[in-house]
């Protein structure tokens, strides 16, 4: 073989080799608000930097709209390369049907079992000892966001917990400010209810009902207090005509509402609006009453694919998403907590630091998604929608809730 030919062959192999890396992966997600879009761009940039291409498949509407689309694509035989889903049981049946890629080898190579904190996140990805997803962040839902501008206008000091907030509500109403902003969608009302549960009833009661599905506790006195607090909150939120969660957050940002009960992803909205924590807004994890956060969040799943090149790329992406640099850049932009306990998050702002501290202290709980099936979640959301928009009494709502827990699977 001539030298000429040899160099051609080597050059060809090199080119082929490098072009073998330039894979296009379609990634679907529902991060479409301002803050969320900025965060997912960090993932895209990191992936594009490896020489591959990130084909963005953003789906408008929140998880409730996007999940059915994602699932029907996977079931329908036209799967995307990677997709966001929440931690928990949403993909359970898909895994059982063998439609999602097994990532155990990637997990073992990256030592995920050691770095993922809390370990419940990885447990949600595991079925029969095999790992099917890579967790990418931790979101907690038990936050109260307060507008300093609103409280200044009302001439009241910014409350430091839920009870103070309820006491200050009358002054806010006098100043023509809506005390509590609430979007008219079931999941938001459910989230508020969950936050109140942890704050008012305590973690044991919460665990008993959500994880162990104990209907007696659900009908008991701890939850009676929760429902009464919810009824209170309902009064304070009357007049919120907005639909989406970020529209409600916007009311807090502009000072037309005093507070919102929303998860830590609201952080991103404040960041995009260039508001400063402590000056323009405050955040109270656990509503200031109970320093506990639940640990829901997002994980990436990879539908099974025939093409070995794509499968290899999928595994590469999985490892990338959990790598230290990407975890830092992504979570800072999103306002969520990283899944790794071994990285430097000193660039994070005050709210995130509070969250990190609670995480480090171990004051965490698994999220509702991880314990309750989509069916039960939907039924609870229906109940919340009915409760929050009408005049159902706290007692009636509690009775229906206990019933749902009794029948939950």
CA–CA gap between residue 245 and residue 190 (Å, rounded): 12
**Nearer residue to another protein within complex by CB, 84 or 185:** 185
Residues 157 and 178: their CA atoms lie apart, in Å, by 16
Cα(24)–Cα(74) distance, integer angstroms: 18
Minimum distance from residue 180 beta carbon to another protein (Å): 16
Residues 277-316, mask of contacts with another protein (x by CB under 8 A): ----------------------------------------
For 38, phi then psi, to 5°, come to -60, -35
Rounded distance between C-alpha atoms, residue 375 and residue 123, angstroms:
21
Per CB under 8 A, the segment of 51-59, 215-223, 257-265, 387-395 that binds another protein is: 387-395
- Answer for which of 122, 377, 397, 401 binds another protein (CB under 8 A) is 377
Q: Which of 343, 330, 341, 336 is nearest to 295 (CA)?
A: 336
Q: Quick check: 386 binds another protein (CB under 8 A)?
A: yes
Burial class (CB in 10 A: 0-12, 13-18, 19+), 148: middle
Q: What does DSSP assign to residue 293?
A: E
Instruction: Indicate the residue among 55 and 231 with the shorter CB distance to another protein.
Output: 231
Asked whether position 385 contacts another protein by CB under 8 A, the answer is yes
DSSP H or E stretch at residue 56: strand 53-58
* Residue 114 contacts another protein per CB under 8 A: no
Nearest Cα neighbor of 138 from 325, 334, 295, 302 is 295
Taking CB under 8 A as the criterion, which residues in 78-107 touch another protein?
Answer: 90, 92-94, 97
Q: Which residues pair with 181 in a beta bridge?
A: 260
Binds another protein by CB under 8 A, chosen from 18, 19, 243, 254 = 243
Select from 101-109, 257-265, 348-356, 386-394 the region that touches another protein (CB under 8 A). 386-394
Cis-peptide, bond into residue 128, ω within 30° of zero? no
CB of 178 or CB of 348, closer to another protein = 178
Sign of CA dihedral 197, 201, 207, 211: negative
Q: What does 171-213 look like in DSSP terms, one character per residue? A: HHHHTT-EEEE--SSHHHHHHHHHHHIIIII-HHHHHHHHTT-
250 near another protein, judged by CB under 8 A: no
Q: Using the rule CB under 8 A, is 382 a contact of another protein?
A: yes
Q: Which stretch binds another protein (CB under 8 A): 9-17, 107-115, 264-272, 371-379?
A: 371-379
Contact of 337 with 352, CB cutoff 8 Å: yes
Q: Does the protein bind another protein through residue 388 (CB under 8 A)?
A: yes
Q: Which of the ranges 280-288, 289-297, 325-333, 373-381 carries the binding residues for another protein, by CB under 8 A?
A: 373-381
**64 touches another protein (CB under 8 A):** yes
Number of neighbours of residue 325 by Cβ within 10 angstroms: 11
Nearer to another protein, 308 or 390 (CB): 390
Residue 67 engages another protein in binding (rule: CB under 8 A): yes
Coil/strand/helix, residue 189: helix
Which of 75, 356 has the CB closer to another protein?
A: 75
Choices 65-73, 116-124, 216-224, 324-332 (CB under 8 A): range interacting with another protein? 65-73
**SS3 of residue 245 by DSSP:** helix
Binding site residues, another protein, CB under 8 A: 64, 67-68, 71-72, 75, 90, 92-94, 97, 184-185, 241, 243, 373-375, 377-379, 382-383, 385-390, 400, 407
């Amino acid at each position: 073989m001539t030298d000429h030919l040899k160099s051609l062959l080597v050059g060809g192999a090199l080119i082929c080799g490098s072009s073998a890396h330039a894979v296009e992966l379609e990634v679907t997600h529902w991060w479409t608000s301002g803050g969320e879009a900025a965060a997912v761009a960090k993932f895209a940039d990191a992936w594009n930097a490896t020489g591959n291409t990130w084909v963005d498949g953003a789906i408008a509407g929140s998880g409730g709209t996007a999940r059915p689309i994602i699932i029907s694509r996977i079931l329908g035989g036209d799967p995307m390369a990677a997709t966001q889903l929440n931690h928990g049981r949403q993909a359970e049946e898909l895994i059982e049907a063998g439609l999602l890629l097994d990532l155990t080898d990637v997990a073992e190579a990256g030592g995920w079992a050691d770095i993922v904190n809390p370990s419940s996140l990885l447990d949600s990805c595991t079925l029969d000892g095999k790992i099917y997803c890579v967790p990418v962040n931790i979101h907690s839902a038990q936050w109260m966001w307060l507008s300093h501008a609103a409280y200044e206008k009302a001439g009241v000091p910014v409350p430091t917990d839920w009870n103070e907030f309820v006491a200050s509500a009358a002054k806010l109403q006098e100043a023509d400010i809506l005390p509590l902003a609430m979007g008219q969608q079931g999941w938001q009302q459910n989230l508020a209810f969950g936050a109140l549960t942890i704050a008012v009833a305590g973690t044991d009661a919460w665990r008993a009902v959500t994880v162990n599905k104990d209907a007696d506790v659900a009908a008991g006195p701890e939850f009676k207090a929760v429902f009464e607090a919810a009824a209170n909150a309902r009064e304070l939120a009357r007049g919120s005509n907005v639909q989406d969660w970020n529209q409600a957050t916007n009311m807090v940002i502009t000072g037309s509402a005093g507070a919102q009960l929303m998860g830590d992803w609201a952080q991103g909205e404040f960041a995009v609006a260039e508001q400063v924590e402590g000056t323009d807004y405050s955040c109270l994890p656990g509503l200031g009453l109970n320093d506990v956060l639940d640990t829901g969040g997002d994980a990436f799943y990879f539908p099974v694919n025939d093409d070995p090149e794509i499968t290899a790329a999928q595994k590469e992406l999985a490892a990338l998403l959990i790598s230290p640099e990407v975890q830092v850049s992504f979570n800072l932009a999103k306002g969520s907590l990283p899944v790794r306990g071994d990285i430097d998050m000193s660039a994070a702002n005050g709210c995130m630091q509070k969250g990190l501290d609670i995480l480090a202290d171990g004051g965490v709980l698994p999220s509702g998604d991880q314990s309750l099936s989509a069916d039960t979640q939907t039924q609870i959301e229906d109940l919340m929608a009915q409760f929050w928009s009408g005049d159902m009494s706290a007692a009636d709502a509690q009775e229906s809730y206990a019933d749902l827990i009794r029948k939950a699977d």
